[in-house]
């Protein structure tokens, strides 16, 4: 029997939906799951992620680990340049596992990871290059298309900086490019320069690519165990592939419940978490669900809340604002560290009633109390819990969300693997910047801008 660490509890939705309503989804969900397996539904050319964990060999992972060590052996810092699906998964995993205050340089003396290519801030890039002046560093540039402006632009600046610092020949040994196997500008550049390269499989799109070298290379370079990540994802893959009953398959159940709530007017899903190091996991989740489902004037709006911090901001809206929300709590049972509240003779702060208790226990009571209040306030709550945070559990979680998202998108009757809307702003931006090929749009755009 396959055991997973993840537990999905939908008890907090029972005031809003019925078991019968869930059961009605059984056939539809099984159908979509089969379509994903058989690669038959919309966008099925991009469903390679579904069997990826099972298809990933130890030899391949060993090669990534070796290359990551070689490229970063003399580096205190690794700059990861990418955006969207070529960035968020890496940061989600590294930050979930990292020390909050980076008390040591990276994990086990591995390089500290910093990011570029995910914004167009002149100050950010200027200050990054300035900071890198007296750091030993390497670069991983990641772009499937190879043409994403933010990534290409930051890489041009970084390439120039690293070549000036080490000389062209030595710089080459400090750069890895992760891109399409055959096409795109980054592919051409990497080939010409002779960089170490990894291919992003053609049948896996950006936001489903964290378990390819896109995520695995930088995560390995940061000192985390990518074999365990894949082992966790493979475990979840095997479990989901071998569990056909809707109520026993957490991906099926999550997809069904989300869609039922959506159909009842709950158009916003808040991913709430109680540990600040899950911030980027929630960012990754938002991109996964937002880009996959938000199209054709449909889709649940994914937002995130960092509790208890956001209970002192968004909390008011969640409790009493417009009743268009449901909440999915991502809960981690055990902390890495133990910290007990000390007793205080004066007790001016009145906290002696908590003396001897762990901070984690207090946090767990905050979660219980909040969930209760939110349900009573008209917010259905789904709870996803795992026993702790480690590579294996993160692998499970990542795969679970990918499968849930794909099925949920199909239930919504959209293609969960494209993102046609992302192109619209790009066309305007390219015209405004005078990119060759976009000149004929500029007059039209200037007229529209005048009207605003
Ligand atoms: O999910 C997606 O496909 C997107 O978010 C991409 O990952 C993002 O736009 C970056 O694209 P690229 O890897 O081509 O630079």
In total, the chain counts a number of residues equal to 452
Residue range 375-405, pLDDT digits in tens: 999 999 999 999 999 999 999 999 999 999 9
Angstrom distance (rounded) from CA 45 to CA 47: 6
What percentage of the chain carries pLDDT values higher than 70? Answer: 99
CA separation for the pair 132, 77 (Å, rounded): 8
pLDDT at residue 303 greater than cutoff 90: yes
Q: Which domains does the chain have, with CATH numbers?
A: 7-42+230-411 (3.40.50.10490), 49-228 (3.40.50.10490)
Q: How confident is the model at residue 427 (pLDDT cuts 50, 70, 90)?
A: confident
Instruction: Mark whether 45 is an active-site residue.
Output: no
What pLDDT is stored for residue 266 in this prediction?
98
Catalytic one of 172, 286, 426, 435: 426
The per-residue pLDDT of the chain, averaged, comes to 95
312 annotated active-site: yes
What is the predicted pLDDT for the residue at 12?
A: 98
Name the residue of 86, 289, 418 whose CB sits within 8 Å of the most ligand 1 atoms, as the mutation to test its pocket. 86
Mutate to test the pocket of ligand 1, among 49, 84, 423 (most ligand atoms within 8 A of CB): 84
* Cα torsion angle, 411, 211, 286, 202, sign: negative
Convert the pLDDT of each residue in 236-258 to its tens digit.
999 999 999 999 999 999 999 99
Q: How does residue 106 score in pLDDT terms, banded at 50, 70 and 90?
A: low
- Residue 44 pLDDT grade (very low, low, confident, very high; cuts 50, 70, 90): confident
pLDDT score for 203: 96
Q: Give the span between the Cα atoms of 112 and 97, in whole angstroms.
A: 13
CA–centroid distance, residue 426 to ligand 1 (Å): 13
CA of 91 to the centre of ligand 1 (A): 15
Counts of helices then strands in the chain (DSSP H, E) = 18, 10
Write the pLDDT tens digit of every residue in 160-174: 999 999 999 999 999
Q: In this model, does residue 27 exceed pLDDT 60?
A: yes
Question: Residues enclosing ligand 1, CB less than 6 A?
Answer: 83-86, 143-145, 148, 151, 205-207, 291, 419
What is the model's pLDDT at position 439? Answer: 80
Q: Is 426 a catalytic residue?
A: yes
**Beta strands of 154-252 (E only): which ranges?**
175-179, 196-199
Q: Rounded distance, CA 310 to CA 305, Å? A: 6
Cβ proximity of 271 and 328 under 8 Å? yes
Beta bridge partners of 304: 271
What's the pLDDT score for residue 68?
Answer: 97
| Contacts of 297 by beta carbon, 8 Å cutoff, 6+ apart | none
Question: Which one of 58, 312, 423, 450 is the catalytic residue?
Answer: 312
200-246 tens-digit pLDDT: 999 999 999 999 999 999 999 999 999 999 999 999 999 999 999 99
Rounded to the nearest angstrom, the distance between the alpha carbon of 86 and the centre of ligand 1 is 6
Predicted confidence at residue 104, as pLDDT, reads: 57
Compute the distance between CA of residue 366 and CA of residue 272 in angstroms, rounded to an integer. 12
Residue range 67-84: mean pLDDT, rounded: 96
Catalytic residue among 291, 327, 367, 391: 291
CB 410 within 8 A of CB 294: no
Q: Whose C-alpha lies nearest to ligand 1, atom 12? A: 143
Q: Identify whether the C-beta of residue 273 lies closer than 8 Å to the C-beta of residue 281.
A: yes
Confidence (pTM): 0.97
Tens-place pLDDT, residues 147-159: 899 999 999 999 9
**Residue 107 confidence (pLDDT):** 62
Confidence class for position 423, pLDDT limits 50, 70, 90: confident
Output the six-digit token pair for 289: 């669900």
Tens digit of pLDDT for each residue in 339-349? 999 999 999 99
Q: For residue 229, which of 96, 332, 70, 108 has the smallest C-alpha distance?
A: 96
Token pair 């993160």 in the structure block, residue = 394
Please write the tens of the pLDDT for every residue from 268-290.
999 999 999 999 999 999 999 99
Q: Whose CA is nearest to atom 2 of ligand 1?
A: 206
pLDDT score recorded for residue 437: 87
Q: What is the pLDDT of residue 449?
A: 86
pLDDT at 428: 87
- Using the predicted structure, report yes or no on whether residue 412 has a pLDDT greater than 70: yes
DSSP label at residue 251: H
Position in ligand 1 atom list of the atom nearest CA 142: 13
The confidence score (pLDDT) of residue 323 equals 98
């Amino acid at each position: 029997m396959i055991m997973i660490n993840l537990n999905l509890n939908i008890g907090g939705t029972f005031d809003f939906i019925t078991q019968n309503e869930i059961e009605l989804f059984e056939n539809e969900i099984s159908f979509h799951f089969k379509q994903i397996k058989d690669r038959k539904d919309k966008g099925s050319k991009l469903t390679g992620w579904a069997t990826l964990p099972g298809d990933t060999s130890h030899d391949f992972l060993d090669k990534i680990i070796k290359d990551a060590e070689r490229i970063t052996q003399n580096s205190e810092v690794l700059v990861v340049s990418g955006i969207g699906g070529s960035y968020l998964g890496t940061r989600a995993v590294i930050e979930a596992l990292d020390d909050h205050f980076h008390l040591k340089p990276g994990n086990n003396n591995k390089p500290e990871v910093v990011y570029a290519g995910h914004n167009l801030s002149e100050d950010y890039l200027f200050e990054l290059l300035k900071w890198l002046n007296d750091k030993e560093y390497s670069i991983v540039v990641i772009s499937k298309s190879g043409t994403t402006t933010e990534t290409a632009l930051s890489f041009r600046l970084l390439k120039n900086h690293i070549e000036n610092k080490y000389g062209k020949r030595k710089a080459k040994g400090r750069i890895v490019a992760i891109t399409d196997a055959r096409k795109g500008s980054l592919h051409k550049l990497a080939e010409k320069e002779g960089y170490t390269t990894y291919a992003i499989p053609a049948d896996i799109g950006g936001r489903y690519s964290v378990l390819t070298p896109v995520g695995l290379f930088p995560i390995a370079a940061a000192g985390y165990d990518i074999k365990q990540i894949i082992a966790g994802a493979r475990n979840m893959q095997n479990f989901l592939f071998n569990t056909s009953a809707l109520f026993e398959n957490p991906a099926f159940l999550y997809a069904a419940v989300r869609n039922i709530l959506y159909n009842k007017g709950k158009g916003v899903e808040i991913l709430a978490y109680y540990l600040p190091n899950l911030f980027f996991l929630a960012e990754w989740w938002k991109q996964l669900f937002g880009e996959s489902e938000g199209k054709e004037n449909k889709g649940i709006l994914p937002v995130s809340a960092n509790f208890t911090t956001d209970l002192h901001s968004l909390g008011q809206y969640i409790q009493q604002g417009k009743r268009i929300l449901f909440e999915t709590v991502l809960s981690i049972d055990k902390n890495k560290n133990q910290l007990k509240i000390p007793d205080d003779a004066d007790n001016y702060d009145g906290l002696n009633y908590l003396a001897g208790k762990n901070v984690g226990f207090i946090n767990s009571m905050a979660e219980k109390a909040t969930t209760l209040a939110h349900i009573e306030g008209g917010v259905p709550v789904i709870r996803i819990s795992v026993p702790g945070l480690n590579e294996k559990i993160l692998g499970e979680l990542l795969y679970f969300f990918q499968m849930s998202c794909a099925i949920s998108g199909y239930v919504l009757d959209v293609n969960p693997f494209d993102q046609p809307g992302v192109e619209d702003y790009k066309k305007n931006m390219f015209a405004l910047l005078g990119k060759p090929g976009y000149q004929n749009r500029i007059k039209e755009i200037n007229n529209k801008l005048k009207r605003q």
